[in-house]
Amino acid sequence: IASDGQALVRFGHIVAKHSLDQRCRAEVLRAAEQTHTLSSQLSMVASRVKAVTAESRSSLELLVSNARNLSQAVLHLLKAAEVACIKGLRQPPPDSEEAEVAAFCMDWRKNLLWHRAKESLNSDRDELGLRKTQARAEPTLTSMVQEPPQTKNSP
């Protein structure tokens, strides 16, 4: 979990580096630093728990608590990255890790905009003509990170 947190920190730094909006860049960097801190802390706690031969309940609770905190920080980082992606990213150099991150973000943004357009055109209206909200949620970076990629023909 801690190493995955570090991977998302790299993701956050790349998004921040290419963000067009200064406030978004600052927020993504803050979230990335918080995630880095909690990821490092989780690594240290995990090492201490491993070093202790008898696993105590309190050390396991500390480990779970730190993992939960890291999870919350990662969610915040992904939400900040979503905002930065919506505001726009600079084009990174081709054939780099940065280009892969930008392509991932642009795919998500394209899916989000497609979803919003589809919802606005096909949504039901109530008796006042207001658009009814559907139970189907918008795509998020979090859902793209958690779910395996779907093919275009998948429902």
Confidence (pLDDT) at 126: 64
Work out whether the CA dihedral 80, 96, 9, 17 comes out positive or negative.
negative
Give me the residue label for tokens 């003509």.
129
Which tokens sit at 86?
């919506």
Confidence (pLDDT) at 142: 77
Q: Which CATH number does the domain housing residue 60 bear?
A: 1.20.120
Most distant pair of Cα atoms in the chain: their distance: 66
Residue 155 lies in a domain: no
Residue 136 lies in a domain: yes
Residue 104 lies in a domain: yes
Residue 152 lies in a domain: no
Residue 154 lies in a domain: no
Residue 113 lies in a domain: yes
Please give the Cα distance from 59 to 49 (Å, whole number).
6
In Å, how far are 43, 60, 64 from 47, measured between CA atoms? 6, 12, 14
Total domains in the chain come to: 1
Residue 114 lies in a domain: yes
**pTM higher than 0.85:** no
| DSSP tag of 94 | S
In terms of residue numbers, what domain contains 107? 1-145
Confidence (pLDDT) at 155: 43
Residue 14 lies in a domain: yes
Given a contact cutoff of 8 angstroms between Cβ atoms, the answer to whether 98 and 14 are in contact is: yes
CA-based nearest residue to 102, from 146, 141, 150, 147: 141
Q: What is the DSSP string of 9-61?
A: HHHHHHHHHHBS-HHHHHHHHHHHHHHHHHHHHHHHHHHHHHHSSS--HHHHH
Q: 17: burial class by Cβ within 10 Å (0-12, 13-18, 19+)?
A: middle
Per-residue pLDDT of the chain (155 residues; tens, 9 = 90+): 888 999 999 999 999 999 999 999 999 999 999 999 999 999 988 887 777 655 677 778 888 899 999 999 999 999 999 999 999 999 988 889 999 999 999 999 999 888 888 777 766 766 666 766 655 677 887 777 765 555 544 44
